[in-house]
Structure 1
Amino acid sequence: MGTCIICGTPVEGRICDSHQEDVVFEFRGNEASQLTPGRFYSGVVDGYADFGVFVDLASGVTGLLHRSELDRRLESLDWEPGDTVFVQVKNVRDNGNIDLGWSIRQSERDFRGALVQDADGDHDAEESDESGDAEDEVETPTVRHGSASRDESSESDENGKSDENGKSDGSKESSESSENSGADDRTGDAREAEPTADYERVEIGTLSDRVGQTVRIEGEVVSAQQTGGPTVFEVRDETGVVDAAAFVEAGVRAYPEVDVGSVVRLDGEVELRHNEIQVETEALVSLEGDDAETVQSRLDDALRGRARPDDVTPLADHDAIAAVGTQLQDAAEEIRRAVFESRPIIVRHTATADGYVAGAAVERAVLPLIREEHAKSDAEYHYFDRRPLEEAVYGMDAATNDVTRMLQDRDRHGEKLPLVLLVGTGSTVESSDGLDLLSIYGAKRVVADAAAVDAEIEESTDVLVSPVLADADASDLSTGALVANLAAAVNDDVRDDLRHLPAVSYWEDAPQAYLDAATDAGYDETYVRELREAVALEAYYQSYEDKRELITDLLFDNGVTPDGEGENAGNLASHVSEQFRLKLDAEVETAKANLESREAEGVQFAVLDTDAYTHRFDFPPTALLLDELHRREREGEKFVTVGVAMDELYLRSTADVDLRAVAEAARERAPEAGITAVGIREGRIEFLSGRREQVKEAVVEAVAEQLA
């Protein structure tokens, strides 16, 4: 029994429940599960990602401070890797991920007290230091991917004792290590050495059997991260990837001539820290000439064998998929190669049900490969990102965003330039400028689209997957179905997880083979419809966010809420689908009451003023509303639904319409209106708002003429 350090109340430990948030804790445990949600902890900035900041609370225990938790823009945060910061632990998930919260208090003196928390409980800092002296003398600090441990980044005194904050500097153990291995210690007097000993080269994949041994590895540097302590190089050979920590002095770049892409020879001691293999670098050199070529050739040969799938087995019998088998192999090879090269993968897809199904399928296939390749809890956040688009065009706005972020990641985190995978977007000439901007910087571009593909775009991509270019009938193929098959080619181990996705991607007329596959996987037609509607609703809200966990719960966890019991138990997809149906039905009924019906050249038209008779800034979006309105109202072989807003117009037709030809013919009728076909997949035409009525008439006449 102790007393609370704030109020003196008798408690078990050193702080009472009412003062938990008045104290800052230094965490000296070794597992995330030992943390206490609600408490404030000191930590060390590991690094930045697009969505927040990673903070090390202890060696091997890292949390994410999401940008939504900040009280300012992420870009304005002045923290640097290695800085000591203060955060609140909001939640510790079952998988070990730690959700952090912002703390306005960023100094220890802003708190009313300070304690140390370890696996045994809470202690005063002095007590913990005394009890930990013996252990500190023999345990080497852990180096995590992209970060320094607390001990490595702290100031040390002559005797290697703890600093004023109670953090051990580890200089004694480093000295002992250098005596035994000839390596430089961590006191700031280190030398950068080149390999001189005649060690036998070993493969990274065998390092788990060589803990404690000094080995030589040869490979390519795939990232180089300067932390507040060591420089951490991520090195890849033909069998895997490993972190190698090289130390000169705290925060100083070791081996500055070695950078991402360098082919290197490295000698070092293999260590196991919290079940992660790492190498303590003793000597490192960049290879050149024949030596570099030999290593690079070995890597390329092994990578080619690992990356290319032997064949493509469709998720269901579908002629359009069979026609693009080689294209799918090529795309799958590029994606797998990116994983094995430690190259980030950026997926761009439309913020629609079809787009989310496609993006989620790739995510389901790629994340396990990243986890297997890197064996780091945060690797999937560094090497995979899914970024929805509101439009089916990869324009300069999106491309500029991607280029800016990839250059920041290259400069800040030492990452390679990414592979950008565009699904259901980027396939028409309207996306050429965006794709070409990526090309200028050397980013890989893979495009997969089931429809509306222009042959000219092939020059702006590394791989283009298109049934249209294969002269195949793609009338019954959705992009979600196409990309789900691509995902199965990328990772056959998740094939069973993907079988129902193609059926979910169709709003109507899904091929029976996909419906049967979904049924076999446990998803009947009603459930498939509910999934589609639920994803469509969630796609609309926070449209620029990937909503990874929510989409995963919907598409892959049988729709059951996390608790699985109690008043919140039930089918998540059914619940969200009901909201979708209520909102959509109400909007459709309003629109139907305000449709303008007309006939021209034997073509039936239903025209809706979407500015006047829809809630344009609430669900459903205009495109989805017009899709549903067209399905419910269409009559005959030639029926066209037209939605006209202030400066854009949407077309839906039961017969094939050449949108560009319609725009050109309408432009001849209204030459001052600035008519342009901008969204081929969406059936969208833009114009000058001042010519709105003139454009509406010109487009109706052009469509009637084309279909007559």
Structure 2
Amino acid sequence: MGTCIICGSSTDGRVCDTHEEDVAFEFRGSSPDELTRGRYYKGTIDGFADFGVFVDVGDSVTGLLHRSEVPGRLESLAWDAGDEVYVQVTDVHDNDNVDLGWSIRQDDRDFRGHLVDDPDADSNAELPDDEDSETSTADGGTPVTEDDAEFERGDETESAPTEQETESDSEPETAEPDDSDDEPELADASDTEDDEDVERVAVANLDDHVDETVAVEGELASVRQTSGPTVFELADETGAIDCAAFVEAGVRAYPDVEAGAVARIVGEVERRRGELQVETEDLVELDGADAQAVEARMEDALTERATPEDTELLADDDAVEAVVDDLVDAATEIRRAVVEARPVIVRHTATVEGYVAGTAIERALLPLIRGEHAREDAEYHYVDRRPLDDAFYTIDDATGDVTSMLEAAERHDEKHPLFVLVGAGSTSESTDAIDLLDIYDADTVAIDGGYTDDAAGADVLVSPTVAGEPPVNTGALGSQLAALVNGDVREDLYHLPAVAYWADTPGAYADLASQTDYSADTLADLRDAIALEAFYQSYEDKRELISDLLWGEADDSLIEHVSEQFRERLDTELATAEPHLEVRGQDGVAFETLDVDAYTHQYDFPPVDLLLDALYRRRDRADVLVGVSGDEIRVRSDGAVDVRAAGETVADELPDAGVEPRGARDGRIEFLSGEQEAVVDAVVDAIADQLA
């Protein structure tokens, strides 16, 4: 039996089942069936094809990374033949074909350890052997020459305490110098400067102190155990730096110090493979006034960096102007997450408004993330846009998000993300979901141009209706927020608000779009195309496809092709539904009702909400359109109808019908399907009373 290099538990080999995917393997076998499914392997690009990338895993096995596995276009990878990459083995077929999966981690340092998968060894998870006098480095197993070995053995450092020494409060012993001329001598503790006298240097200025002993102070963003040293990622008010502390291969240094602690690290600044790192000589966890001083310094600098410099709106809109302070607060929280290396999860409705707003925020975030993080895949790691199935952020959504969040924290020491809820999360239906996030200290920002009730409890809420203003198109509101998040992309956003409107685009947003090369017809085509793509695979963000549509990264043929499909499908469904609209009058109010289940094609485009919107826009003979689908009623009017109030009235009148209003005044009404006829009549009566 061995011990896991990450958690120290007993296991067959060098890594336990729980942490196997946190390790990158070097394959030394000769046959595909000797690979271990689910593991991540270091490979070499062998060649390219239209359908994917061929990767050599080891010397004798080649697998295929299919283009469907790549989060983007193959051309965007910037890979060349011979490049070293990391891939996951997902399957090995009977014909020896090897299926490979994408790895978001494409750097040695992204893994918590490096091991060997050798079928001829005692186990298939072993430490790299010391061939040709090589040893392991802080990046978890990359071979270096004996001349560099002092980095691993702690040359001129004080050895980090072992767990036994820490428990007994004894002083850590320094290693005795070896008599060999080939081995560097370890420094005696008396040769080391008093830690308190060592100059503190901001992380951003370490480049000027290479080969010098300095002190850095800040919060430990992560702690990862490699097959060599323990690597502490320390973040101060200016940036982050990796600090490597070595006891012996695979042994945790400073075992009582965890991520989130405020610490002072003294060590020598080194440049390894082009990147700066600190060779740790001493690490002290700060508390009391010392920790408070560091935290205050970081907080002040962080607030200054996160606050938008330019708070000018994209376009004049009185309703948006009323919540500009809330927009600034939301933008600050989003920018702060980027600086703190917290992922931003954008959850938006699968509608045109939701896509426009969510994509605008994503567009603003991408350059900030690229500027803040050096890793090539940072833009896929630190922002994730996830469309919602419904108009609410539900407990089902939150459970999935919390599960992913906790797994990322456990496996990769990832910080909890900031959740940005777009067009959702602003009514009582989202209270339980947001409370679940709050239990795990995950912050939330909700932005909604429609009617809200401020009941869900988001940390920051942007809602014109809460401020006493009329509703605003959520796409326009989200675009205004994106401009505050990153002023450098303002011009990229000029046409987005106009795309989000189905009719009667306000003059300010029409004027804004006129400053671009997009014609009114093209903007309408874009809206239609986004509406169609929002429907299909609604749970996927479709980042590259949406970007191609909204920012002209493809020729006009794509927009024309998709928008034409939209119109054909919508016209077909309208022609099917219109003859079955039932007209009725009630107290001088003209109603049209539609049995959606009976007179539309289920599970096909368009969705019910979009169909009812289109029907109401195309007809002028009714004051109110009522759509009945299964156990739900949706209402379309000129905004005068309070759907929630009508639902509450009917719930009192029909206590056995299971009537429950959902959402705010423009929401929907749910009921028991067996009571459909009585509920529809009661809803019509309640609405007629409102409009009388």
TM-score tier (shorter): 0.7 to 0.9
- CA 1:159–1:258 in structure 2 vs 1: closer, same or farther (change >3 Å)? same
Per-residue deviation, 1:559? 4.9
In the alignment, what sits opposite 2:466?
Answer: 469
Offset from partner CA, 1:115-160 (integer Å, 9 cap, x none):
xxxxxxxxxxxxxxxxxxxxxxxxxxx8524444679984224862
In the alignment, what sits opposite 1:286?
Answer: 285
The question of whether the paired residues in 1 share the 8 Å contact of 2:316 and 2:508 is answered with: yes
- Find the aligned partners of 2:373 and 2:420 in 1 and give their Cα distance: 21
The question of whether the paired residues in 2 share the 8 Å contact of 1:260 and 1:415 is answered with: no
- Find the aligned partners of 1:642 and 1:623 in 2 and give their Cα distance: 11
Per-residue deviation, 1:487? 1.1
Per-residue deviation, 1:38? 3.7
- Find the aligned partners of 2:515 and 2:658 in 1 and give their Cα distance: 51
Offset from partner CA, 1:57-116 (integer Å, 9 cap, x none):
9xxxxx99899759xxxxxxxxxxxxxxxxxx9946355597967552399x9699xxxx
Match of 2:569, as an amino acid?
K
- CA 1:229–1:424 in structure 2 vs 1: closer, same or farther (change >3 Å)? farther
Is there any run of 5+ residues in structure 2 with no aligned partner, and where? 1-30, 99-106, 117-124, 166-171, 175-188
Match of 2:535, as an amino acid?
Y
In the alignment, what sits opposite 1:79?
Answer: none
Match of 1:584, as an amino acid?
L
Q: CA RMSD in A?
A: 3.9
In the alignment, what sits opposite 1:689?
Answer: 673
In the alignment, what sits opposite 1:144?
Answer: 109
Per-residue deviation, 1:682? 5.8
- 1:514 aligns to 2:501 (yes or no): no
- Find the aligned partners of 2:276 and 2:489 in 1 and give their Cα distance: 27
In the alignment, what sits opposite 1:549?
Answer: 544
- CA 1:429–1:42 in structure 2 vs 1: closer, same or farther (change >3 Å)? same
- CA 1:548–1:90 in structure 2 vs 1: closer, same or farther (change >3 Å)? closer
- Find the aligned partners of 2:465 and 2:152 in 1 and give their Cα distance: 63
Per-residue deviation, 1:580? 0.9
Alignment of 1:55-70 (within 5 A): 69=69
- 1:240 aligns to 2:239 (yes or no): yes
- CA 1:601–1:521 in structure 2 vs 1: closer, same or farther (change >3 Å)? same
Match of 1:630, as an amino acid?
Y
In the alignment, what sits opposite 1:581?
Answer: 567
Q: Give the SS at the match of 1:692.
A: helix
In the alignment, what sits opposite 2:474?
Answer: 479
- 1:597 aligns to 2:583 (yes or no): yes
- 1:535 aligns to 2:522 (yes or no): no
Alignment of 1:26-175 (within 5 A): 38-42=53-57, 69=69, 91=74, 93-95=76-78, 102-105=89-92, 143-148=108-113, 154-157=127-130, 160=133, 169-170=143-144, 172-175=146-149
In the alignment, what sits opposite 1:645?
Answer: 629
The question of whether the paired residues in 1 share the 8 Å contact of 2:219 and 2:236 is answered with: yes
Q: Give the SS at the match of 2:283.
A: strand
Per-residue deviation, 1:214? 4.2
Match of 2:369, as an amino acid?
I
Alignment of 1:423-442 (within 5 A): 423-442=422-441
Match of 1:93, as an amino acid?
S
In the alignment, what sits opposite 1:83?
Answer: none
The question of whether the paired residues in 2 share the 8 Å contact of 1:392 and 1:681 is answered with: no
TM-score normalized by structure 1? Answer: 0.76
Offset from partner CA, 1:364-421 (integer Å, 9 cap, x none):
1122222212211122333222111121111211122222222222222212222211
In the alignment, what sits opposite 2:205?
Answer: 206
The question of whether the paired residues in 1 share the 8 Å contact of 2:644 and 2:665 is answered with: no
- Find the aligned partners of 2:498 and 2:129 in 1 and give their Cα distance: 62
**Aligned partner (choices 601, 616, 620) of residue 634 of structure 1:** 620
In the alignment, what sits opposite 2:266?
Answer: 267
Per-residue deviation, 1:674? 0.6
- Find the aligned partners of 2:329 and 2:690 in 1 and give their Cα distance: 38
Per-residue deviation, 1:212? 4.5
- 1:396 aligns to 2:395 (yes or no): yes
The question of whether the paired residues in 2 share the 8 Å contact of 1:316 and 1:517 is answered with: yes
Deviates more, 1:219-228 or 1:478-487: 219-228
The question of whether the paired residues in 2 share the 8 Å contact of 1:663 and 1:677 is answered with: yes
Per-residue deviation, 1:679? 3.4
Match of 2:288, as an amino acid?
G
- Find the aligned partners of 1:445 and 1:377 in 2 and give their Cα distance: 27
Deviates more, 1:34-43 or 1:434-443: 34-43
- CA 1:630–1:514 in structure 2 vs 1: closer, same or farther (change >3 Å)? same
TM-score normalized by structure 2? Answer: 0.78
- Find the aligned partners of 1:436 and 1:211 in 2 and give their Cα distance: 47
The question of whether the paired residues in 2 share the 8 Å contact of 1:269 and 1:280 is answered with: yes
Alignment of 1:494-509 (within 5 A): 494-509=489-504
Per-residue deviation, 1:676? 0.8
Deviates more, 1:344-353 or 1:661-670: 661-670
- CA 1:527–1:178 in structure 2 vs 1: closer, same or farther (change >3 Å)? same
**Aligned partner (choices 604, 609, 618) of residue 604 of structure 2:** 618
Q: Give the SS at the match of 1:343.
A: coil
Match of 1:419, as an amino acid?
L
Per-residue deviation, 1:27? 6.6
- CA 1:681–1:38 in structure 2 vs 1: closer, same or farther (change >3 Å)? farther
The question of whether the paired residues in 2 share the 8 Å contact of 1:201 and 1:218 is answered with: yes
In the alignment, what sits opposite 1:671?
Answer: 655
- CA 1:34–1:192 in structure 2 vs 1: closer, same or farther (change >3 Å)? farther
In the alignment, what sits opposite 2:13?
Answer: none
In the alignment, what sits opposite 1:17?
Answer: none
In the alignment, what sits opposite 1:334?
Answer: 333
Q: Give the SS at the match of 1:571.
A: helix
- Find the aligned partners of 2:441 and 2:447 in 1 and give their Cα distance: 19
Match of 2:633, as an amino acid?
L
Per-residue deviation, 1:588? 0.9
Deviates more, 1:583-592 or 1:235-244: 235-244
Per-residue deviation, 1:340? 1.3
- CA 1:415–1:681 in structure 2 vs 1: closer, same or farther (change >3 Å)? farther
- CA 1:667–1:103 in structure 2 vs 1: closer, same or farther (change >3 Å)? closer
Per-residue deviation, 1:256? 2.7
In the alignment, what sits opposite 1:130?
Answer: none
Identity of aligned residues (%): 50
Per-residue deviation, 1:666? 2.0
Per-residue deviation, 1:688? 0.6
Is there any run of 5+ residues in structure 1 with no aligned partner, and where? 1-19, 44-56, 58-62, 71-88, 113-141, 562-569
- Find the aligned partners of 1:314 and 1:640 in 2 and give their Cα distance: 35
- Find the aligned partners of 2:557 and 2:298 in 1 and give their Cα distance: 47
Per-residue deviation, 1:33? 10
Deviates more, 1:347-356 or 1:150-159: 150-159
In the alignment, what sits opposite 2:4?
Answer: none
Deviates more, 1:574-583 or 1:249-258: 249-258
- CA 1:633–1:228 in structure 2 vs 1: closer, same or farther (change >3 Å)? farther
